[in-house]
Amino acid sequence: MVRDAAKETIPLLTRYKMGHLELSHRVVLAPLTRCRSYGQVPQPHAAAYYSQRATSGGLLISEATDVSPTAQGYPETPGIWTHEQVEAWKPIVDAVHRKGAFFICQIWHVGRASTNEFQPDGQAPISSTDKQISPDPESGMVYSKPRRLRTEEIPGIVDDFRRAARNAIEAGFDGVEIHGAHGYLLEQFMKDGTNDDRDDEYGGSLENRCRFAVEVVDAVVHEVGARRVGVRLSPFVDFLDCVDSDPLALGEYMVQQLNRHEGLLYCHMVEPRMANVDGRRQIPHRLLPFRKAFNGTFIAAGGYDREEGNKVVGDHYTDLVAYGRLFLANPDLPRRFELGAPLNKYNRSTFITQDPVVGYTDYPFYEDNNHV
């Protein structure tokens, strides 16, 4: 049984014009690393996975995609620096476009969130710092000790992002999202907890710490045009030991820098961890100052469901809402929201495996099993 509310127009399912892209609804697929790109080459099963989640006028953001051989920190993540990788992305992007959806490629470098095994010739992963991430007792994950990047090496990495963006457009993507969130390379530079001992122009003041990320944004905008560039940031998140003493100032500074680029596609921000308020887990809703300061489309992510998503779009707290785990487990999430239908539960144990089907393309569609 679906709710009586079925098919009523809910805020999440209203149209929205994001730059030159005419979106038919506001339910965005958040970037989700799935580790199924063997040898760092995207595989045909990704076409099935993404096109399952594509709707006419919907917006999908790809899993984080490595910009270079040193960018990798997890098994079988896709890359976008070789011709072979670009060619392998093409049919995947085509499959999404055939459904009428728009597809953005998230480009990243993990920095110190890596191990020697993932690095060319077993070298040390690179970072703002030579401090290692403390081992995670839950996952048992131990990252290798990183090597602090020399000042003169930074332009080369900016160039890796630029080339990755160029390649993403060549592969047919509608744009790129620069991954400046979650404790990976760009954030390692931005936050003072992980960038506390550099004395060059990439360390010290807030402006200096953000310089690398800003240079990446500028280079990518220059390469593919502001209307094709989104940026993801998470000033409040403390993932991978990456914390800042003043996340509000950090976020506001970065938003100002993004505002220099007229027509930038979007700013995508992640909420702080869920908080327990009156015995209930609640989204902290701390992104409002950034939403207000940013001149373009704003995407919020982190813990949203149908009710919370409708509320924040209805309140103009955000323009779009990105869904991670719920979209992972519900390929037809916008349709389920439309119907007020129950959701499949996600299975955490298959989030990150190399299986081409299980936990990937085998989550059921609501209407295959129910008459509506």
Ligand X SMILES: Cc1cc2nc3c(=O)[nH]c(=O)nc-3n(C[C@H](O)[C@H](O)[C@H](O)COP(=O)(O)O)c2cc1C
Distance between alpha carbon 132 and the CA centroid of its chain, in Å? Answer: 23
* 107: three-class secondary structure by DSSP: strand
Stretch that binds ligand X, among 28-36, 95-103, 151-159, 194-202 (CB under 6 A): 28-36
**Which of 89, 161, 290, 323 touches ligand X (CB under 6 A)?**
323
> CB of 345: closest distance to ligand X in angstroms?
13
Tell me how far apart the alpha carbons of residues 133 and 127 are, in angstroms, rounded to a whole number: 11
Residue with tokens 């760092």: 40
Stretch that binds ligand X, among 42-50, 140-148, 323-331, 359-367 (CB under 6 A): 323-331
Q: Which residues within the stretch 151-180 sit at the binding site for ligand X (CB under 6 A)? A: 179
Tell me how far apart the alpha carbons of residues 304 and 324 are, in angstroms, rounded to a whole number: 9
Tell me how far apart the alpha carbons of residues 362 and 36 are, in angstroms, rounded to a whole number: 14
CB-wise, 148 or 352, nearer to ligand X?
A: 352
Out of 50, 143, 184, 366, the active site residue is: 184
> CB of 201: closest distance to ligand X in angstroms?
27
Structure tokens, 223? 């390469």
* Interface size with ligand X, residues (CB under 6 A): 22
Q: Which residues within the stretch 75-94 sit at the binding site for ligand X (CB under 6 A)? A: none
Contacts of 90 (CB under 8 A, 6+ apart): 171, 172
* 232: three-class secondary structure by DSSP: strand
Distance between alpha carbon 94 and the CA centroid of its chain, in Å? Answer: 21
Tell me how far apart the alpha carbons of residues 72 and 116 are, in angstroms, rounded to a whole number: 10
The answer to the question of residue 363 lying near ligand X (CB under 6 A) is no
CB-wise, 62 or 128, nearer to ligand X?
A: 62
Instruction: Give catalytic status of residue 184 as yes or no.
Output: yes
The answer to the question of residue 237 lying near ligand X (CB under 6 A) is no
Q: Count of residues for the chain? A: 372
The answer to the question of residue 359 lying near ligand X (CB under 6 A) is no
Given the rule CB under 6 A, which residues bind ligand X? 30-33, 63-64, 106, 179, 181-182, 232, 270, 301-304, 323-326, 351-352
Task: Provide the annotated active-site residues.
Answer: 184
